[in-house]
Amino acid sequence: MLLQLDAAFDLQRDVGPWLAAQDTFEETSSTLYVLNVERNGKIIYTWKGHLRNTYIGLYDPQTRQNEHLYTFERDLHIISCSVNNERTLLAVSFLQMTKEDKINQLLQSVSKCLTLLIEIHPVNYVKVLKAVDSCIRVQFLYPVESGNPFPESHLLLISEDRYIEQFHIHVVTEENKVVIQNTGQLPRERVADDLIWAQWDMTEQRLFYIVRKESRNTLKCVQFYRDENFKLILESPLDISLSDMGLKLVNFGYDYYQDTEMAPETVNLQVFTSKTGSLCVCYSRAPDIPEEVTYSISFLHKGYSKTFTVALERTDSLQVKEVAFLNLEYYVAAYLPGHFLHLLNIQHPDLMCYSLFLTGEDASIELLHDTSIQSICKLTLLDCCSGRLFTVKINEDSLMRFMWNSKLDRDRLAALHCALVHLGSAADLEDQIIQWILENLSPCHTFDPIQEFIIASLYWRMCPESSQLDKLLPYTSLLYWNGVVPGIACTTDIISLPILKVQNCKGFWEKLNLYLENVKYAEPQLHYNNNVLRREWYKLLSEEKEGRGAPAYLKNIFENARKVLSNLDTWSMEERLVPFFQEEDCQQQLLMGLMVAQLKDHLMRHLQHVGKKKMDQIVVDYVSNLLDLMCRMMEAVWRKYNLHPCIFSFDKRGSAAEFAVFHIMSRILEAANGLCMPLPPGFHSLHLGLGVRCLPLHTLLHYIDNGVLHLTETCVRKLFKDLDNTEKNEKLKFSIVTRLPEAIGQKICQLWNHPVTSNFIARNYVKLLLEKLGTRQRGRPIPDRMSIHVEFLPLNYLASMLAEIEDQGLNPFKEQDHVNAKFVEEMALKHTAMLLGL
C-alpha cells in the first residue's frame, strides 16, 4: 500500500472517553459526528444527550483537550457550525423541524432553517442571522498570519439560494464578558452571486466558486486578507459540464444525515493548489458505462487538461464508482476504492511516465470508508462516516518495494521521480535509490537511471533556493515518451489560461503568475540544456591543444572550477572512501568552469532581479551538487563491493568486485558524456586503473581507442613505475606509449629506460629544436663536435646543425642534461644498427 494514513483524530478515541465521563452522553454512536474542521486544526463535533438535547463540543489537537461549547435543549439537526479564532463567537445553522415536526408544517408557518450567532465567552446573547427555507452553511474567517486577534470577526454565510455574503461582527469586553457591540443590524456584503459550485480553502482562506456566464462555466477565486476585506483575484473559463441540480459545496463542514441519505453525486469537482504555484481542477462524473470510469485534471498553471478513461477490471463489485481526489502537495491522487490509485505529478504532468497508476494491493488505502472521503487540505483527509481525520503521505518503504518489484520502465521511472520528491523527509532514502540504480542499470531500456537520478536530484536540491528555478532548470533527461499504460486512455486538450485580476501579487499568486508567464513564452525553451555547453567545450579543448585559447577567458573558466571544488570541500569533512580530488584534471575542470559560466548566463536572462553574488552562489552550488551526487554514487559502489580507499597497484589482476565497479564506472561515464556533465577529478585515473587490472590487453586498448578509457598522467606514471620490463609488461607499456597525448608522452618516456622511449625522446627533441629554429639562417660555419667520426653525411649534417642551435640557447630540454645533439646521434646509430640486425 503506497499511501500511508495516520489517524490524527478519532472521535471514538479522542472524544469518546471524555464524553463517557459526562452525564449528558447517550451511548449511540450515530449521534456523535464531526461538524467542521477549522483552520487552526480544532475540530467541532456534536452529540445527543439522554434527554435528546443537542450538544456542541470542540477538540484541540495541540493540547488534546475537549471543550463543551454550547447546548440546545432540544433535538436538532445541525447542518453547519463554526467558531471564531478567539473562541468567543459560535455560528450554528440547523433545521428546525425533526421528522415528527414535519406533520405540523402545514399547520403553522415555520422557517425550515435557522442560523444563529451565539456569544460563548461566556454563553450570553443569541442573535438570529437567518430564518429561511433554504439551507445555510456558516464559516468564520481565520487570520493566515499569526499575530494579534482580529479587531472584528468575519463570518461567511453560504446559502442554498446560490449566494454568499460576509458578516462583520465587532466585539468588545464588558465585565469579563466578550459581547457583540452592535446587536442590531450587523454590517454585511455580498461576496458572490449566482454560483453553482463553491469550495472553501481553509488553509489559505480562499473561496473558489463557479458561475454560469453566457452558457459557459467560469471558475473564480476570492482571496480574504487580514487587513483588507477580500478581492476577486482569479477568473478562468472551464470547459466542464455541470448539471443544474442545486448548489454543490465542498469543505464547508459536514452534514452527516444529509450526506448519508443522499445518492452519490453525479458530478465530483475539486480545486487543489500547492505551494509551488500549481492550480488544478479535478473533475469526474458518474459513469455512463459500468465498465469504465472517466475523470479529468485541468492543469490551469500549464494551460492544458488531461482526461483519463479507465477500463475497470471487474464490474460486479458493489463498491462505489465515484472517484475521490486527494491533494498530496506535489501529486494529485485519483482514487477509486477497490480498483485503482492514480498519482499524477502536477508540476510536470506533460509525460505520463512521471505519474504512477496502481492497481490491486498497491492501490488499496486502509482505514478509509469508501463513500465519505474529503480532502479538506493538503495531505489531510476526513473520513466523515467514521469521524476520523488522517494525515496522508507516501510510504517510502512501500515505494521502494514497488521500484524493486516493477518490471516496466514507466513504473520504474515514475517511482524514481516520486522517491526523489520525498528525499528531504527521509535521510536514508537517497542511499536506497542509489542501491536500486546500481542493481537496475541493465533492465532499464527506455531511460538511463543514472542520468535521471542526477538531473532530477539536482532539480529537487536546487529549487527550494528560488521560486523561479523550477521553471529554468531541467527536471528530466527525457525529451519525449512513447509508452502507454494498459487499460487507461488519455487525451490532452489545450485550455484557456486563468486571468489574474490583481497585479503585483505575492505568495501563491506570484508563483502562479510565473507559471502563466512561462506558458505564454514557450516553456520548454526556458529549461537549461547542455547542447551549447558540449559544442563550446569541444571548441575550447581544441583551442587549448593548439595554443589558440584566450588566456583571460580560460583563466576565468578555471577560476569558476576552483570555486566549485572549494565549495565541495566545505560540504564534506569526512575522508572519502573513493580516491577522488587527489589530482588535477584540466579537461574536467574546464567543463566545470564552462558549465558554471553558461548556466549563469542562462539564469541571468530570466532572473535579472537576482543579485550577482547570489546568482554566482546558485550556479556554483548547482555544479557542486552535481559532483557531490557523482561522489555519493561512487561511495555507495565502494561500500557495496567493500573496496579499499587506496590507489591500486598494477602487479596483480583485479578481482570480480573490481570488475563490477569498473562496469558501473563505465555506465556513469556513459551517462555523464550523454549529458555533457563534468566528473570528479580523478575519475578517469581510477577508471583506467581498474581497466588495466581487469581487462585483457586487446580489450583495454579497444576501450582506450574508443574513448571509454582516458589516459591520464597520474595513472600512467604509476603504471610505468609499478611494472617491470617483462615481455608482457613491455607490450602493455609500448601500447600505452604509442597512444599517449604528446604532452603526457614526453613526461612518461623519462620514466622508462627503453630503446623505444629513447628513440621517441630523440625524435621529439629534433622536432622541437627545429621548430624553435624556424626560418632563422645560420651565420657561421658548422663546428665539428661529433664525438664519433661517422662517414654518413646526412647524420653529420644533422648533428652539426643541432649543435649550432644548442649554442644559440634554444635547447628545449635544458632540465635534462643528457638530452642533446650527442644523445640524438647515439640514438640514431643504435636505431640504424637495430634495423640492420647488427
**For residue 788, what pLDDT is reported?**
45
C-alpha cell at 799: 648533428
pLDDT tens-digit map of 683-720:
999 999 999 999 999 999 999 999 999 998 888 888 88
Taking the C-alpha atoms of residue 804 and residue 754, their distance in angstroms, rounded to an integer, is 28
Helix (H) or strand (E) holding 451: helix 449-462
68: β partners: 57
Q: What is the mean pLDDT of residues 152-163?
A: 94
Q: Which pLDDT value is given to residue 571?
A: 73
Extract the C-alpha cell encoding 111.
Answer: 422557517
Q: Which residue do the cell numbers 463570518 mark?
A: 155
Residues 6+ apart with CB under 8 A from 5: 365, 366, 367, 368, 381, 390, 391, 392
- Residue 837: left (phi > 0), alpha (psi -120 to 50), or beta? left
Q: How far is CA 596 from the centre of its chain?
A: 22
Spatial neighbors of 579 by CB under 8 A, at least 6 apart, are 645, 646, 647, 682, 686
426-430, 722-726, 727-731: segment of lowest average pLDDT: 426-430
Query: By C-alpha distance, which of 358, 364, 401, 365 is closest to 381?
Result: 365
Report pLDDT for 778. 46
Query: Amino acid identity of 161?
Result: D
3-state secondary structure of 35: strand
623 membership: H or E segment, kind and range = helix 612-640
Specify the residue for cell string 601500447: 735
Query: Helix or strand or coil: residue 197?
Result: strand
Q: What is the pLDDT of residue 370?
A: 60
What's the pLDDT at 786? 40
Q: How far apart are CA 666 and CA 450, in angstroms?
A: 11
pLDDT (mean) for 640-647 = 80
Q: What are the residues whose beta carbons fall under 8 Å from the beta carbon of 504, sequence distance 6 or more? A: none
Q: What is the pLDDT of residue 818?
A: 58
pLDDT digits (tens, 9 = 90+) for 492-545: 999 999 999 988 888 899 999 989 988 887 655 677 888 889 999 999 888 877
Q: In this predicted structure, what is the pLDDT of residue 405?
A: 93
CA distance 136 to 17: 32
Strand pairing partners for 10? 388
Please give the grid coordinates belonging to residue 681.
Answer: 577529478
Q: What is the pLDDT of residue 454?
A: 95
Answer whether residue 28 shows pLDDT above 80: no
Q: Which DSSP state fits 735? A: H
pLDDT of residue 8: 95
Q: What pLDDT is stored for residue 730 in this prediction?
A: 86
* pLDDT at position 573: 62
Q: What pLDDT is stored for residue 44 in this prediction?
A: 97
Paired residues of 154 in beta bridges: 168
Residue 573 neighbours by CB distance under 10 Å: 6
Q: Are strands 304-311 and 43-48 parallel, antiparallel or unpaired?
A: unpaired
The amino acid present at 172, given as its one-letter code, is V
d(CA 38, CA 684): 59
CA distance 561 to 539: 18
pLDDT digits (tens, 9 = 90+) for 372-412: 788 999 999 999 888 899 999 999 999 999 999 999 999 99
Task: Collect all residues with Cβ–Cβ distance below 8 Å to 704 and sequence separation of at least 6.
Answer: 710, 711, 739
Contact assessment for residue 28 and residue 7, using Cβ atoms and an 8 Å cutoff:
no
Query: What is the grid cell recorded at 70?
Result: 454550547
Per-residue pLDDT at 745 = 74
DSSP 766-809: HHHHHHHHTTPPP-SPPP---SS--S-HHHHHHHHHHHHHHHTT
What is the total residue count of the chain? 838
Q: What are phi and psi of 217, to 5 degrees?
A: -85, 140
Closest CA to 36 of 147, 268, 200: 200
Crossing angle of helices 821-836/793-807, nearest 10°?
Answer: 160
SS (H, E, C) 496-557: CCCEECCCCCCCHHHHHHHHHHHHHCCHHHHCCCCHHHHHHHHHHHHHHHHCCCCHHHHHHH
Rounded to an integer, the average pLDDT of 203-232 is 90
- The secondary structure of residue 332, as a DSSP letter, is E
Q: For position 685, what pLDDT does the model report?
A: 92
For residue 139, what pLDDT is reported?
Answer: 97
Distance of CA 268 to the CA centre of its chain: 29
> What average pLDDT does the segment 294-312 reach?
95
Nearest to 643 by CA among 656, 630, 632: 656
Sheet of strand 356-359: strand arrangement? 324-327, 331-336, 340-345, 356-359
In percent, how much of the chain has pLDDT > 70? Answer: 81
The distance of Cα 587 from the centroid of its chain, to the nearest Å, equals 31
Average pLDDT over every residue of 91-119: 75
Q: Across residues 97-112, what is the average pLDDT?
A: 59
Hey, which of 273-277, 367-371, 802-806 has the most confident mean pLDDT? 273-277
Mean of pLDDT over the chain:
84
* 498 preceded by a cis bond (ω within 30 of 0): no
Quick check: 67 and 60 in contact, CB under 8 A? yes
**487 pLDDT above the threshold of 90:** no
Is residue 817 predicted with pLDDT exceeding 70? Answer: no
- % of residues, the chain, pLDDT over 90: 51
Residue 607 predicted with pLDDT over 50 = yes
Predicted pLDDT at 64: 96
25-34, 170-179, 213-222, 319-328: segment of lowest average pLDDT: 25-34
Q: Measure the CA–CA gap between 380 and 556, rounded to whole angstroms.
A: 51
For residue 267, which of 287, 239, 290, 289 has the smallest C-alpha distance?
Answer: 287
Grouping H, G, I as helix, E, B as strand and the rest as coil, residue 707 is coil
- Please check whether residue 161 is in contact with residue 146, taking contact to mean a CB–CB distance below 8 angstroms: no
Neighbours of 279 (CB within 10 A): 26
Rounded CA Rg of the chain: 38
DSSP-derived pairing of the beta strands 206-213 and 388-394: unpaired
Lowest mean pLDDT among 684-688, 722-726, 779-783: 779-783
The amino acid at residue 623 is: V
Grid-cell match 486527494, residue found: 326
Nine-digit cell string for 661: 565497479
Asked if residue 765 has pLDDT above 80, the reply is: no
CA distance 813 to 737: 19
The span from the CA of 513 to the CA of 498, in Å, is 9
Give pLDDT, residue 110.
Answer: 74
Residue 782's pLDDT is 44
Residue 723: pLDDT above 70? yes
What pLDDT sits at residue 421?
A: 87
Q: Give the rounded distance of the alpha carbon of 94 from its chain centre.
A: 46
Bond before 680 cis per omega within 30 degrees: no
Higher pLDDT, 217 or 769: 217
* Measured distance CA(824)–CA(798) in Å, rounded: 9
Say if residues 224 and 200 touch (Cβ distance below 8 Å).
no
Q: Which of 57-71, 277-291, 462-476, 822-836 has the lowest mean pLDDT?
A: 822-836
Residue 210: closest CA among 231, 194, 195: 195
Q: What is the DSSP letter of 156?
A: E
If phi > 0 it is left, if psi is from -120 to 50 it is alpha, else beta; for residue 757 that is alpha
Please give the Cα distance from 588 to 594 (Å, whole number).
Answer: 10
Cβ proximity of 443 and 481 under 8 Å: no
163: pLDDT strictly greater than 60: yes
Give dist(CA 759, CA 739) in Å, integer: 16
